[in-house]
Amino acid sequence: MASKFRKALGLLRRPRFARAMLVHRVAASVEHLPAIHICAAGTLVDAGANKGQFSLAFRALRPEALIIAFEPLPEAANTYERMFARDHRTHLQRVALASAEGSATFHVADRADSSSLLRPGPGQALAFGVRAAKTIEVPVKRLGDCVDFATLPQPVLLKVDVQGGELAVFDGCTQLDLIDFIYVELSFIELYVGQPLFQDVSGYLAERGFRIIGVFNQVSTREFGPTQADVLFHRERA
């Protein structure tokens, strides 16, 4: 409770954050500010943008940077577009990112920001009390078909919060070698059916030249102990 109170006070101290809370009911993800500061990125690619919580925090530190965001959930995308309507360096694409193009079933959870292309499993219910509420069909695209990373202002930060679909996002990008930082929420236990775990994703990225430079916001649950964390990877360009 104390941490939530401190976060609320921090949000209200920044006019843009306060307006987002009061007008759009969106709380900027201030817990990610340390990682954002490390990257000092010229471009944010926000995969799994939801209502814009991370983009909002990023914009506070990087007011001139380019933001390209992806969010398939209609209600969340509507909020994102309203909040950034006057920000001409922010662009939203209403698609889910995967390793193939077309359409797919999207599992909408009873807590919307936990929705995923993967079905929530027993671990998600035990750890966080989150369950699937309904399914919808959403368009899916490959990241490499949506963004030409060679044209983006550097450094480039790819933030990935896709609830178990991380490897599908990476498999859909042929230009990982042009990305400087990847900031991704990873799980130590299976929350979604068939999801890759921390060691799977970190191994995949290590094989492609990325190394871990920070671990943030670790979440422990009564049922599993350490359950999730946000991990920052860096790849030095040749």
The answer to whether residue 223 is domain-embedded is yes
What's the structural domain count of the chain? Answer: 1
The answer to whether residue 215 is domain-embedded is yes
- What residue has token string 């921090």? 10
The answer to whether residue 8 is domain-embedded is no
pLDDT at position 24: 73
What are the two backbone dihedrals, phi and then psi, of residue 113, each rounded to the nearest 5 degrees? -75, 0
Residue 14 pLDDT greater than 90, yes or no: no
- What residue has token string 């930082």? 181
The answer to whether residue 37 is domain-embedded is yes
pLDDT at position 171: 98
CA distances from 68 to 44, 47, 95, 156, 218 (A): 6, 8, 12, 11, 26
pLDDT at position 4: 52
Residue 237 pLDDT greater than 80, yes or no: no
Distance of alpha carbon 135 from alpha carbon 208, whole angstroms: 34
Beta strands in 89-155 (DSSP E): 90-93, 96-97, 102-109, 132-141
Residue 2 pLDDT greater than 50, yes or no: no
Residue 225 pLDDT greater than 60, yes or no: yes
- What residue has token string 């060679």? 150
The pLDDT of 188-212, averaged and rounded, is 97
The answer to whether residue 127 is domain-embedded is yes
The pLDDT of 19-23, averaged and rounded, is 76
pLDDT at position 238: 67
Complete DSSP assignment for 136-191:
EEEEEE-HHHH--GGGSPSSEEEEE--TT-HHHHHHT-S-GGG--EEEEEEESS--
Which range marks the domain in which residue 90 is found?
21-234
The answer to whether residue 189 is domain-embedded is yes
Q: What is the pTM of this model?
A: 0.92
Q: What is the pLDDT of residues 79-122, one digit of tens each?
A: 999 999 999 999 999 999 999 999 999 999 999 999 999 999 99
pLDDT at position 6: 54
Residue 8 pLDDT greater than 70, yes or no: no
The answer to whether residue 89 is domain-embedded is yes
Residue 195 pLDDT greater than 80, yes or no: yes
User: Taking a C-beta distance cutoff of 8 angstroms, is the pair 183, 160 a contact?
Assistant: yes
Helix (H, G, I), strand (E, B) or coil at 194: coil
User: Which residues on neighbouring strands pair with residue 47, listed in sequence order?
Assistant: 70, 160
CATH of the domain at 177: 3.40.50.150
What is the 3-state composition of the chain as percent helix, strand, coil, each rounded to the nearest 5? 35, 30, 35
pLDDT range class, residue 15, cuts 50, 70, 90: confident
The answer to whether residue 16 is domain-embedded is no
